[in-house]
Amino acid sequence: MRIVCPFCGERELGEFTYLGDAKPQRPAADAGEDAVYDYVYLRDNIAGVMSEHWYHGGGCRAWLKVTRNTLTHEITAVEPAAGAGAAKVGA
Amino acid sequence: MKYSIFSLARAALSGHQNWQRTWRDAAPKDRYDVVIIGGGGHGLATAWFLASEFGIRNVAVLEKGWIGSGNAGRNTTIIRSNYGLPGNTGFYELSMKLWERMEQDLNYNSMVSQRGVINLYHSDAQRDAYARRGNTMRINGIDAELLDQPALKKMMPFLNFDHARFPVQGGLLQRRGGTARHDAVVWGYAHAASGLGVDIIQNCEVSGFTRDANGKVTGVETSRGKIGAGKVGMAVAGSSSRVAAMAGLRLPIESHVLQAFVSEAIKPLLPNVMTFGAGHFYVSQSDKGGLVFGGDIDGYNSYAQRGNLPVVEDVCEGGMALIPMIGRVRLLRQWGGIMDMSMDGSPIIDKSPVEGLYLNAGWCYGGFKATPGSGFVFAHLLARDESHKEAALFRLDRFRRGAMIDEKGQGAQPNLH
Ligand SMILES: Cc1cc2nc3c(=O)[nH]c(=O)nc-3n(C[C@H](O)[C@H](O)[C@H](O)COP(=O)(O)OP(=O)(O)OC[C@H]3O[C@@H](n4cnc5c(N)ncnc54)[C@H](O)[C@@H]3O)c2cc1C
Ligand SMILES: [Zn+2]
């Protein structure tokens, strides 16, 4: 598996660290126990196309959002993840 | 059929032409008291204990491929009970005791080999942690010995004791740990369960659940038609999320790939199973002479049943760091298996929130050693509707209650366990 970092180009997998499913959103502070349990512990664990967070620690150190098929390992899109680093790119 | 010295002699003298089938390849009936999804070690062990211990014999095991085609036939065969946390300590020892009598119980040679499992330590802090774990084991009546460097040098002189970064200082040894022939474990349970009337149904993929008006599970839909069931237990290893989703459940589980490796056969070298406490590398030598080894999971969600190269490199580096001489041994085979990685690294054996559906899931990469224990406590749960005392902490609601069993102390991040 190789990931095409939008900042660094195509790099081997060893340069990246995986965080997991990009879908869970941190609930509001007063959202209640169910929402927090859901966010921290429960996962769709998709067999197929999934959007996930990877960190390019061996390169530009940006967080990336990668669209990948968990059945085939095929990657169809890589974009900067929302956040400080990505905001600068857009500017 | 029953194996004995006479049956072996008879088969040998007739040129090995007259071996009988060891289990019946059954066709599905309309209804069973209990249907188990998944013909791996856990599913088959559950069926055997249901029949042999709990008197429930109208049982079917449904397997989408052939029995043992999942992780039961892909693992590196290590068995041990050297766990330190409440919940784990007693459960894995229950399992170890069942390994020790498995061949007699099943009338099948599963090649349980108690050659010892040694976890190496490389720093003072790690020695103290292992001493503590060893003490926990001994308090609970489990064997453990803390070896210092001279003792270890006698046993395994070929280790790289003077490694600059991770010098081998000693190890925690469990002599009763070791390995078992994984395929034979599957075949043995199938052989024994089938003998008690359990139907083992291969090429039968579960694709959905039938439910009554109250939502209770009443059976399964399969590639071989609908099958009714009083209770349904799932023991589908890396497919737990997918099967649970058919009943509308989301689980605290991610599926990850773990790779394993086998070298060409060499003369007897390794006396036991050994793990590298500082990196992540574990190795034993098979009876055929190959070194069987592995390391970390690949670390990202995967259902691909194959891994990637960075882990191959990492595992081989781990091996070289400990036993430099194996750099000259050629790699014969490599493969991957998909496992459930639960949020705390421990299993879930519990009723599910859907009535009639029972969970045996989340085994991460240590679930082979659990096979007999898991089968026993899951059968207990299915038969009596209450957890066995050694599985009482493996409940699904432990995450919500903050009562996780996090043996590695890593938090809720499956790829770190
Ligand atoms: C490379 C590797 C090395 C490992 N090494 C060790 C080790 O040394 N020691 C240890 O203790 N553990 C080890 N493990 C972990 C261990 O193998 C697993 O935790 C354990 O085998 C899981 O239980 P099982 O044997 O029942 O699973 P499996 O054998 O995977 O059984 C599950 C079965 O369910 C079937 N199934 C799935 N979905 C369906 C469906 N919809 N319908 C019907 N059937 C279905 C599958 O085909 C499969 O046969 C290792 C795992 C891997 C991958
Ligand atoms: Zn980059």
Condensed to tens digits (0 to 9), the pLDDT of residues B70-86 reads 999 999 999 999 999 99
CB contact under 8 A, A47 and B255: yes
DSSP per-residue string spanning B189-237: HHHHHHHTT-EEE-S--EEEEEE-TT--EEEEEETTEEEEEEEEEE--G
**Mean pLDDT computed over B121-146:** 97
DSSP per-residue string spanning B81-121: ----STTHHHHHHHHHHHHHHHHHHHTS----B---EEEEE
Structure tokens at B88: 């784990």
Task: Give A91's pLDDT tier (boundaries 50, 70, 90).
Answer: very low
Q: What is the DSSP letter of B21?
A: P
Please tell me the distance from the alpha carbon of residue A35 to that of residue B119, in angstroms, as a whole number: 40
The answer to whether the CB of B4 falls within 8 A of the CB of B10 is no
Residue A89 pLDDT more than 60?
A: no
- Cβ count within 10 A of residue B108: 19
Of B300, B304, B413, the CB nearest to A71: B304
The residue of A45, A49, A73 whose CB has the most chain B CBs within 10 angstroms, and thus the best one to mutate to test that interface, is: A45
pTM: 0.96
Q: What is the DSSP letter of A81?
A: P
Q: Can you tell me which atom of ligand 1 is nearest the CA of B243?
A: 41
Residue A64 pLDDT more than 80?
A: yes
CB contact under 8 A, B415 and A18: yes
Please tell me the distance from the alpha carbon of residue B310 to that of residue B329, in angstroms, as a whole number: 20
Task: Give B115's pLDDT tier (boundaries 50, 70, 90).
Answer: very high
B236 lines ligand 1 (CB under 6 A): yes
Compute the CA torsion angle B130, B132, B135, B137 (nearest 10 deg): -70
Mean pLDDT, all residues of chain B? 96
Q: Which of B327, B336, B339 is nearest to B291 (CA)?
A: B327
pLDDT tens digits for range B196-225: 999 999 999 999 999 999 999 999 999 999
Q: What is the DSSP letter of A15?
A: G
CB contact under 8 A, A45 and B253: yes
The answer to whether the CB of B92 falls within 8 A of the CB of B377 is no
Task: Give A85's pLDDT tier (boundaries 50, 70, 90).
Answer: low
The residue among B2 and B157 whose pLDDT is bigger is: B157
What is the value of ipTM here, to two decimals?
A: 0.93
**Mean pLDDT computed over B129-134:** 97
Residue A88 pLDDT more than 80?
A: no
Q: Which of B261, B272, B256 is nearest to B295 (CA)?
A: B261
Scanning B14-87, the segments in alpha helix (DSSP H) are: 41-52
Contacts of B301 in chain A (CB under 8 A): 20-21, 45-46, 50, 52, 70
Question: Which ligand neighbours the alpha carbon of B303 most closely?
Answer: 1
Taking CA atoms, B196 is separated from A54, B33, B62, B108, B250, in Å, by 51, 15, 17, 14, 35
Q: How many whole angstroms from its chain centre is CA B399?
A: 22
Residues in chain A: 91
Contacts of B311 in chain A (CB under 8 A): none
CB contact under 8 A, A41 and B412: yes
pLDDT tens digits for range B333-389: 999 999 999 999 999 999 999 999 999 999 999 999 999 999 999 999 999 999 999
pLDDT tens digits for range A6-57: 999 999 999 999 999 999 999 999 999 999 999 999 999 999 999 999 999 9
